[in-house]
């Protein structure tokens, strides 16, 4: 499982030698979900991905829409609505979901098609343009491209 061409970051996602989610048993010392010692650090080796279902307030196994045996996931998420200067909140969308996607792909082995939209026009933008008289100036010809 450990390839000689892997970077140290890629190897960090792998469980300790001899402990894989499929081979994790109490007999070989790799009990799923239980902390193990690996060169002095505590490492948890989950057998499957579990998520908190807030409706029932407990962790449940993740099941892709394609079925329990599938490793293919299509994931759509709403991105930022950009109507003003960029700020840290915009970066949070990209960063948080990218981390979750990488864990699901690199550690749990899912194949993910990930799409995030970026809304470039909406009612707030139109309202602000009207309030700032930008729309009237544009319609009067001041907003035409000259090049």
Structure confidence at residue 17 (pLDDT): 56
Structure confidence at residue 73 (pLDDT): 94
Structure confidence at residue 132 (pLDDT): 78
First to last CA, the chain: 57
Q: Is pTM beyond 0.75 here?
A: no
Q: Which two tokens stand for residue 145?
A: 């491209």
Average pLDDT per block of 10 residues along the chain, 147 residues long: 58 54 42 40 63 94 91 89 77 89 92 86 77 76 59
Structure confidence at residue 34 (pLDDT): 38
What Rg value do the Cα atoms of the chain yield, rounded? 24
Name the DSSP class of 38: E
Q: Which two tokens stand for residue 51?
A: 């998520």
Structure confidence at residue 12 (pLDDT): 55
Structure confidence at residue 125 (pLDDT): 77
């Amino acid at each position: 499982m450990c390839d000689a061409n892997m970077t140290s970051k890629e190897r960090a996602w792998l469980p300790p030698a001899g402990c894989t989610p499929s081979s994790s048993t109490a007999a070989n010392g790799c009990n799923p979900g239980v902390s193990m010692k690996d060169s002095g650090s505590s490492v948890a080796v989950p057998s499957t991905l579990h998520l908190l279902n807030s409706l029932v307030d407990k962790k449940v196994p993740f099941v892709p829409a394609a079925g329990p045996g599938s490793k293919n996931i299509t994931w759509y998420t709403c991105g930022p609505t950009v109507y003003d200067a960029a700020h840290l909140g915009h970066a949070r969308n990209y960063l948080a979901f990218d981390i979750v996607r990488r864990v699901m792909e690199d550690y749990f082995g899912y194949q993910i098609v990930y799409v995030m939209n970026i809304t470039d026009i909406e009612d707030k933008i139109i309202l602000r343009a009207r309030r700032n008289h930008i729309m009237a100036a544009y319609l009067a010809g001041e907003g035409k491209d000259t090049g």
